[in-house]
Structure 1
Amino acid sequence: MRRLGSVQQKVPCVFLTEVREEPSRKRDRQQFQVVATENVNPVALESDIDCALATEKLDGTCCYVTTYNGEPYLWARLDRKPTKQADKRFKKYQHSQKTCKGFTWNIEEDFRAVPDSWIPAQRVQHENGHPVPDEHGHTPGWVPVEETNKQYCWHSSVVNYEAGLALVLRPHSEDKGLLEVASIPLLELMEQTLELIGTNINGNPYGLGSKKHPVHVLVPHGILQVRNAPPVEYQQLYSWFQECHEGRVEGIVWHCNDGTLIKVHRHHLGLKWPDGDTFLSSRPVVVHVDRRTYDPASLADSHKDLFCILSGFNGEHFNSIRDIQVENC
């Protein structure tokens, strides 16, 4: 698996896209949508996409692991966004020009304040010492997930800083058809990006946990390989998403040998998401969360702690991640 470092400003679509005058299916309040044409993006061809590693695109929220105050820490995605006035000016330009390109931002005045601990993503460009926004007016970045911050309580549930552990969903090391939920050292995830998925993230398309007993996990980016991936051709990809069992995913991200990432989302092809059961939810899973790797007594409320709860299933196999019902523990 490739280590991705930090989030790029924009991952291009595998196909060239066009803008249509109808409400976006993906972004609220966006009165146009970006759809794929049948022409392969030259960026994909230049990066030799036919030899790239195809991986499942997950529907969650992006995270990053790096140091904070000298310790391995989970960081949550936080884009620096325009103020209301600047955003209104941007939307007016966008509507009149039918494009985001060419708009000029006042870098020092047009953006909302972010926490002092905020850092921009690694590939964000800078101008006069200030991070420059992407074409949508957002500057991708990160804030550390501190256990006392209720805004990131679902992020906090998947880390135990005292033990230096994170709850991760990944393929089993010996059986690639089997998934495992495991507690692993944060040190093993350093400088990687991951997707947080679960009960309270993006409508929970994977069916994890319940509102009364939420379950969340981290999934390292690029770790869920698409087996027998379709050729990069519009109609074959469309048919794969529509007809194949493995095609019940939000999208594909190709990891090219030159480090370029290329993606396609079902929305690009005019397809619904989610659409019935997802492929991830159909895969068998085993739990490997051993209570001996940390001290439950050090937790403020250990009977509600997800590490403690999942340790009650240590070694158990389930037909699907949806079957891990923590209220039964």
Structure 2
Amino acid sequence: MSRRGAVQRKVPCLFVTEVKDEPSAKRERQPFKVLATDTITGKALEADVHNAVPTEKVDGTCCYVTTYKGLPYLWARLDRKPTKQGEKRFKQFLYSLEDCKEFVWNVEEDFKPVPDTWIPAKDIEFSNGNPLPDENGHMPGWVPVEKNSKQYCWHSSVVNYEAGVALVLKHHADPGVLEISPVPLSEILEQTLELIGTNINANPYGLGNKKHPVHLLVPHGAFEIKNPPALKQNDILSWFETCMEGKVEGIVWHCADGCLIKLHRHHLGLPWPLAETYLNSQPVVISFNRTKCDYDFEPKSLFHHFSMLDGQRFDRLKDIKFDA
């Protein structure tokens, strides 16, 4: 599969942003909005964002495929966060506006413990052998998804380590058609992906139901935007509001140097999720070629349910239903 930049840390916004007060009963915990100005950031310009590849920002939870126990494994995102005392000290420093010096973390004391299997995300800075937190005081990282994991059961449902495959949503060979198929984990090694589905982020794509949850992996950068708007706030705003292709959570630009730049609908004051999205409106084909994936999946597994639909086509992604 073709691959683009991986998401290992927080992706910066295309535009310079500003914080505006937004008192609301529904947003008591965050009585403000972070909105985009019409100025493109210096970082985006340095990365040559004007010549970058625009792709759909898919709404899910970030995952990573890398080696564990000598095999390709799916890893779930787990950011190491500061303790209450560490966070309090950090916020006091931020509010003190002491620009003349840098905040110094005590990694051993200021952060909550993580599992022994936890690894820091790539590209983060280290000091004296310890990973350093980002500007928000978090340490991005990953933990392996074990088979039949209760904590990461929805992650676990989209991988089969015995067969060495993952359930992936991608483009079909026919233009305008999606495909769900098992992909060897070895083919997506060192890639990041988005886990979407019934029990992820309130299921904005309408996948599955409580009785038969449906979850899928989408490689980052998989869905290129064919008719993107110009990189001007008004043009992007109009595209989000009037184009079917614009019924997405946002845009992620994949730059030639590997840098990623994003813009979320919320940055322009637009709502998400939507009743109809571009992703869940497209036809989809189930492709479970037994010659490529010769394995007897457990009867209750998601892999088994999809294998029983091999060769079927649905008018919309959200129309996929399993027999009772």
Partner Cα separation in structure 2 for residue 91 and residue 47 of structure 1: 31
Q: Which residue of 1 aligns with 2:250?
A: 251
Q: Which residue of 1 aligns with 2:133?
A: 133
Partner Cα separation in structure 2 for residue 119 and residue 303 of structure 1: 33
Alignment of structure 1 residues 171-250 onto 2, 5 Å: 171-172=171-172, 174-250=173-249
- RMSD across aligned C-alpha pairs, in angstroms? 2.4
Moved over 6 A (4+): 23-28
Residue type of the alignment partner of 1:89? R
2:77 is the alignment partner of 1:110: no
Q: Which residue of 1 aligns with 2:154?
A: 154
Gaps of 5+ in 2: none
Count of residue pairs brought into register by the alignment? 321
The alpha-carbon deviation at position 84 of structure 1 amounts to 2.1
Residue type of the alignment partner of 2:86? A
The 1:28–1:118 alpha-carbon spacing in structure 2 relative to 1, beyond 3 Å, is farther
Partner SS for 1:108: helix
The 1:314–1:114 alpha-carbon spacing in structure 2 relative to 1, beyond 3 Å, is same
The alpha-carbon deviation at position 294 of structure 1 amounts to 3.8
Contact 2:204 2:274 in 1 (8 A): no
The 1:103–1:273 alpha-carbon spacing in structure 2 relative to 1, beyond 3 Å, is farther
**TM-score, normalization: structure 1?**
0.91
Q: Which residue of 2 aligns with 1:284?
A: 283
The alpha-carbon deviation at position 242 of structure 1 amounts to 1.0
**TM-score, normalization: structure 2?**
0.92
Q: Which residue of 2 aligns with 1:143?
A: 143
The alpha-carbon deviation at position 275 of structure 1 amounts to 2.2
Contact 1:205 1:274 in 2 (8 A): yes
Q: Which residue of 2 aligns with 1:13?
A: 13
Partner Cα separation in structure 1 for residue 267 and residue 25 of structure 2: 10
Partner Cα separation in structure 2 for residue 213 and residue 95 of structure 1: 48
The 1:84–1:316 alpha-carbon spacing in structure 2 relative to 1, beyond 3 Å, is same
Partner Cα separation in structure 1 for residue 35 and residue 90 of structure 2: 22
Contact 2:4 2:254 in 1 (8 A): no
The alpha-carbon deviation at position 148 of structure 1 amounts to 3.5
Contact 2:35 2:266 in 1 (8 A): yes
Partner Cα separation in structure 1 for residue 24 and residue 188 of structure 2: 34
Partner Cα separation in structure 1 for residue 98 and residue 237 of structure 2: 27
Contact 1:23 1:29 in 2 (8 A): no
Identity %: 60
